[in-house]
Structures are given as structure tokens and as C-alpha cells.
Chains A and B, each alone.
Chain A
Amino acid sequence: MDKITLLEQVRAQFPDVMEVVSPDPKFVRGNDELQVKVPSSSVSDIASFLKKTLKFDFLNFMTAVDYVKENRFELVYHFMSSSEPVTQIFVKTDLPREGEPSVPSIAPLYASADWQERETYDLFGIRFDGHPNHKRILLWEGYPGWPLRKDYVHVQDKYDNGSEIGLPKIPGVK
């Protein structure tokens, strides 16, 4: 399916979906595949439409990017079709950085979103409403902060300064 037909089909169902176009002419997009921006509230509706109607049965990866200067998180989903791997679509959505950013979970639709949403929650602190097992995955419960946020501040612990546990002091580390 080519890019234009795909966009038309998605827009017929969801008129508020926009193709991602950069405001900056120098901005490079390394990928030719269709990229669309959707409102965060309709992520799971669109994922459901992509899966059931357009046969995008394979959620390849999902992640987030922290655009701290623009005060937003961008979630990136990449869908593929397992029978026709060249057909791909990037779905993006913006979330405000303040408070507890949250987005509907697509884990009930795509099992692969289960751990990937947990990873995104773990490292960015973005909540996924409706996730069946909403816990941290790589770091432990109670880890201070969300490390992949751009404003993350490292909390000093015993490993930063060996003197507290009887190791020689590392020069330059306070």
C-alpha cells in the first residue's frame, strides 16, 4: 500500500490525524514511510483501526523522546505488517511534560506493547492507562526519578564516593 492511499484511509476514519511535516526545511527525515501525528487520547483507537482494518499486526517498537525546550514528550510507535514488511507507519503523539503525562495503553491490542510501555514508563515516567501490569521493568520500584528525561538529576549514592564504604576516594568526585 502506498503512502498516499494509507494516509487517505487513516484520515477517512480519523479526520484529526495529520501527516508529520517539519516546520524547518533543513530537518532531515531518514525514513520515507508515512509518519502521522495523532491526538494522545485517540492512540488506542487508531492502533485498533490499524490492526483490525489495515492489517498492521506487528508493533515493531515504541519509545518516547523528551523535547524539553518545547515542553513536550513525543511518543513514537512503529507499526509493520508481518505479511508485507515494507508497509510501515510511524504514529506519533505529543504529551505535555507537566504533571503526570499519560496516554491510553495499547498493550491489550499488541502484546509487544506490554514490556515496551513498561520500559517507557520506567525511563520517562509516562503513564499508560489501562496497562495490565503497570510497573517499572529495568529499574527497581522506588528508583528516584526518570533517567531518560532531559532534566533528570543524578542522585548521589554510595557508588559515587567510595570513601563511605571504605574504598579510596576517586579524584574529582565530591
Chain B
Amino acid sequence: MTAAFPSPAGTVNERADSLLSGPSFETKMERISDHEMLLNMGPQHPSTHGVLRVVLKLDGETVTGAVPDLGYLHRGVEKLAENRTFGQFIILTDRDDYLCAMLNNWAYCLSIEKLLKVEIPQRAEYLRVIAGEMNRIASHLLFIGTFGIDIGAFTPFLYAFGREREMILDLFEQLCGARITYNYVRIGGVSNDLPEGWVEKAKKFVAHMQACLKEYDDLLSYNPIFMDRTKGIGVLPKEKAIAYGVSGPNLRASGVPLDLRKDAPYGIYSKFQFSPAVRQNGDCWDRYMVRRDEIAESCKILEQALDGIVAGEIMGKVPKVNLRPPVGEAYAQLEGARGLLGVYIVSDGGLSPYRLHLRAPSYINLATLQEILVGWKVADVVAILGSIDIVLGEVDR
């Protein structure tokens, strides 16, 4: 069967040619007129936060077309899953969206638990919420820091990334031994119980985090230069956001209050009092502010969860080895830091998934880029790309 296919076009130049020719380019770019030029951005570009390439068509300073080129980080995770046992695959979910690995672990385990129809102990549910919300804060902190750098504000990065996020990573290190790739949420529960004194440290952190938001507002959110660079820029209207399947903070910034924690609660989220952060304009500043507000909301959830945590088991009754979920299929999704994070799983009763599909929010959110960049200036491209908050590990999988 393989003989029917031409040999892979190996070199980067050949890839570039294939992107710039053929029907795709004709549709997206039509033809380049004599006063237009092509600008290649990436794959090695600091503001792409990974390896993303965008070919921009410019008319003077104005962007008239944009074609994202992905796949530089494609590792074939969905194929790898078919050769791993169910337990082994959790560590690969860490590597999809490596900025909020807890939620990736959780989404994957949630779908298998749907297949197994297993009961999760209450304490494990609380630990998942605590770890998940902390990781959401860590992810948004990284966004605040790097988005500032994209726009030209270096200082907030040192606070958000270098100070507060570091505190969360230290807490995670004490909790599960890892700082980035946790493998913490397991099928049926979580891997480790809280170490001694952890709850007090976490409560201290939450109080500190809430006080810091004021500092971020002074440094970045209401900084006139920052607002000039982001307010009214890269507007994603509500209808377009829905059509593109955009989810998470990006969708809520466009005025759609869709938050699965509230609208279709999973785990024990129905127990907590919080209100999803929503903004109306859908510009870069709103996308930033939704994430900033979400940190405050996550702190509220954390306070309640740290107070209400119950004693008990941390693992449900799930076999540790030779786990064979029944023949069947399940789809589970949760509110990730970047949007609806879903895992569709098909089991044939064997030791490894028959088929696994990741609904990666970054991948789906990124598709809007080809449309919302058009009409803005070159200087806005980095602001718009940064405000979508993609993780290339998840885009390319």
C-alpha cells in the first residue's frame, strides 16, 4: 500500500513550497499583487511560544492574509496511545498541554472512569479540584507573564512567572514530586495524599495570590501602554467564536458565558460558589482580563475546597495492573485552562485503548488566527497571537 504514495518531501524548502503553492494558497491568499509582500513568521519566533509558523501577506503594514503552518511538534500521541496500557498513557497526557498537565491527566482519567463506571472517593475529588485549580492559576500566570513580554512589558513576567507560579510549582513538588509533568490524577483517584502542613501552605498561597492581583493590575492590566496595544485589537465577535468552536477564556471574552464547571458540572464542582469570568468585547485586552479574573475565581474555589476537604481514601477500587475497561466508548470533557478539553476513547476490552482522540482546545482555538489577523497591523500580530494563549504541544499533539 505504501508504494502508491510519493516519497516524503523532506526538506524545509520543499515544505515551504508546498504551503505556498497549490489550491490552499490560491484560496487563502489568492494572488500576490505587486504592492503586497509575504512575510514568514516562525517556526523559531519567540512570541509563538513553541514552533508555529505563520505566513503573512502584507499590504504595507496591514495584514491581508495569514496561513498558519502546524505540525512541527507532532508526535502522534493518538497513535502512541494504541500501544500503551491505559495507565501508561497518563504520562503522555502530561506532555500535550504541559502548562496545565493536571487537567490533562484529569480529562483522560475522567473518560476511562466513565467506561469503568467507577466510584471516586470524595477526598480524591477534592484533591483533583485543588490540584486542577492551582494548575489553572499557574497556566494563567504564565500567560500573564509571557503576554506582557510579547507586548514589551518585561517586569510582570518576573512577578507572575518567577514568583507566584514558582510557589505553585513548589507546592506541586511537595504534593507529587514533579513540577511540570505530574502524572498525579490516576484512574480512580489520585497518586498521593497531602503531605503534612500542605493545606496551611496552600491557604497562605491563596491569600498571597489574591493580594498579588492588585499588583498585576497596577503593573500591567491598567497600564496605558499595555491598554493601547491590546484594547480594541484583534476583535473576535461572538458569532465567529462559536462557529470556530472557540472555547474557554477566549470564548468567554467574546461574551459567551460557557463554562463547563458551571454549566455541566463534573466531579464536585456543583458544591462550589463562583461565577465564570465573562467579558463582552472579544479583543486582546478582554482575553487578558478574563484570565486575570479567572485567577480570582479559582482562588475562591480553592478557599472553599481547602476548607471543605474531607478525610478518606484517595483511590477507588480500580485494578492497578492489567486494567481492562469493558468494550465500549466514552467521551468526557472538562473546562481546561484553554477551553473544552475532551478525550474520546474506544475500548475493545484489551489492555490499551483501541482509539483515543484528544479534543485539544489550543488546536481548535488557533484556527481562528487565519481570520482574526486580517486587517490588523504587523505590530498587532504578536499581541493577537499571544492573547489566544496556545500551547504548541497541544496544537500538534
Q: Using a CB–CB distance below 8 Å, which chain A residues touch chain B?
A: 24, 26-31, 57-61, 63, 65-66, 76, 78, 82, 85-86, 90, 110-112, 114-116, 119, 123, 132-135, 137-145, 147-148, 151, 153, 155, 157
| Cα–Cα distance between A141 and B260 once the two chains are bound (Å) | 37
| Cα–Cα distance between A38 and B258 once the two chains are bound (Å) | 29
* Interface pair B359/A61, CB less than 8 Å apart: yes
Specify which of B8, B27, B342 is in contact with A60 (CB 8 Å cutoff).
Answer: B342
Interface-located stretch among B138-146, B242-250, B279-287, B301-309: B242-250
Interface-located stretch among B74-82, B226-234, B289-297: B74-82
* Interface pair B7/A144, CB less than 8 Å apart: yes
* Interface pair B8/A144, CB less than 8 Å apart: yes
* Interface pair A65/B330, CB less than 8 Å apart: no
Q: Does B195 contact A (CB under 8 A)?
A: no
* Interface pair A58/B245, CB less than 8 Å apart: yes
* Interface pair A111/B244, CB less than 8 Å apart: yes
* Interface pair B2/A28, CB less than 8 Å apart: no
Closest to A30 in B: B330
* Interface pair B245/A137, CB less than 8 Å apart: no
- Determine the chain B residues whose CB is within 8 A of the CB of A82 once the complex forms: 242, 251, 256, 258
Q: Can you list, as one digit per residue, whether each of B335-349 has a CB less than 8 Å from chain A (1) or not (0)?
A: 000001010111100
* Interface pair A86/B264, CB less than 8 Å apart: yes
Interface positions, chain B 1-57, Cβ under 8 Å from A, are 1-2, 5-9, 15, 18, 22-24, 27-28
* Interface pair A140/B355, CB less than 8 Å apart: no
* Interface pair B243/A112, CB less than 8 Å apart: yes
* Interface pair A85/B260, CB less than 8 Å apart: yes
Classify the secondary structure of B's interface with A.
mixed
With A65-B346, A86-B263 as contacts: A140 and B70 at CB distance below 8 Å: no
With A112-B243, A147-B76 as contacts: A28 and B344 at CB distance below 8 Å: no
- Determine the chain B residues whose CB is within 8 A of the CB of A135 once the complex forms: 22-24
- Determine the chain B residues whose CB is within 8 A of the CB of A138 once the complex forms: 70-71, 74, 396-397
| Cα–Cα distance between A143 and B5 once the two chains are bound (Å) | 8
Could you show 10 A-B contacts with beta carbons less than 8 Å apart? Answer: A29-B330, A31-B331, A61-B357, A63-B344, A63-B357, A65-B355, A82-B242, A141-B9, A144-B6, A144-B7
- Determine the chain A residues whose CB is within 8 A of the CB of B111 once the complex forms: 30
Specify which of A24, A110, A153, A157 is in contact with B245 (CB 8 Å cutoff).
Answer: A110
* Interface pair A28/B342, CB less than 8 Å apart: no
Could you tell me the distance in whole angstroms from the C-beta of B114 to the nearest C-beta in chain A?
Answer: 3
With A86-B263, A144-B8 as contacts: A57 and B242 at CB distance below 8 Å: yes
Classify the secondary structure of A's interface with B.
loop
Q: Does B326 contact A (CB under 8 A)?
A: yes
Known: A65-B355, A112-B245. 20 other contacts (CB 8 A): A29-B329, A30-B114, A30-B115, A30-B328, A30-B329, A61-B342, A65-B354, A111-B240, A111-B245, A111-B367, A133-B27, A135-B22, A138-B396, A140-B71, A141-B18, A142-B5, A143-B8, A144-B8, A145-B1, A145-B5
* Interface pair A30/B331, CB less than 8 Å apart: yes
Specify which of A28, A90, A114 is in contact with B117 (CB 8 Å cutoff).
Answer: A28
Could you tell me the distance in whole angstroms from the C-beta of B247 to the nearest C-beta in chain A?
Answer: 8
- Determine the chain B residues whose CB is within 8 A of the CB of A76 once the complex forms: 344, 357
* Interface pair B7/A137, CB less than 8 Å apart: no
* Interface pair A26/B326, CB less than 8 Å apart: yes
Interface positions, chain B 107-131, Cβ under 8 Å from A, are 111, 114-115, 117
- Determine the chain A residues whose CB is within 8 A of the CB of B328 once the complex forms: 27-30
Closest to B22 in A: A135
Could you tell me the distance in whole angstroms from the C-beta of B53 to the nearest C-beta in chain A?
Answer: 12
Q: Does B323 contact A (CB under 8 A)?
A: no
| Cα–Cα distance between A148 and B81 once the two chains are bound (Å) | 11
Q: Does B269 contact A (CB under 8 A)?
A: no
Q: Does B376 contact A (CB under 8 A)?
A: no
* Interface pair A85/B264, CB less than 8 Å apart: yes
Q: Can you list, as one digit per residue, whether each of B364-397 has a CB less than 8 Å from chain A (1) or not (0)?
A: 1011000100000000000000000000000011
Could you tell me the distance in whole angstroms from the C-beta of B129 to the nearest C-beta in chain A?
Answer: 20
With A28-B330, A57-B243, A59-B245 as contacts: A144 and B344 at CB distance below 8 Å: no
- Determine the chain A residues whose CB is within 8 A of the CB of B115 once the complex forms: 28, 30
Closest to B17 in A: A141
* Interface pair A144/B5, CB less than 8 Å apart: yes
Could you tell me the distance in whole angstroms from the C-beta of A58 to the nearest C-beta in chain B?
Answer: 6
Q: Does B332 contact A (CB under 8 A)?
A: yes
| Cα–Cα distance between A135 and B22 once the two chains are bound (Å) | 9
Q: Does B363 contact A (CB under 8 A)?
A: yes
- Determine the chain B residues whose CB is within 8 A of the CB of A144 once the complex forms: 2, 5-8
Could you tell me the distance in whole angstroms from the C-beta of B308 to the nearest C-beta in chain A?
Answer: 25
* Interface pair A30/B9, CB less than 8 Å apart: no
Could you tell me the distance in whole angstroms from the C-beta of B147 to the nearest C-beta in chain A?
Answer: 24
Could you tell me the distance in whole angstroms from the C-beta of A61 to the nearest C-beta in chain B?
Answer: 4
Q: Does B327 contact A (CB under 8 A)?
A: yes
Interface positions, chain B 313-333, Cβ under 8 Å from A, are 325-333
**Which of B78, B111, B325: most chain A Cβ within 10 A?**
B78
With A65-B346, A140-B71 as contacts: A31 and B114 at CB distance below 8 Å: yes
- Determine the chain B residues whose CB is within 8 A of the CB of A57 once the complex forms: 242-243
- Determine the chain B residues whose CB is within 8 A of the CB of A28 once the complex forms: 115, 117, 325-330, 347
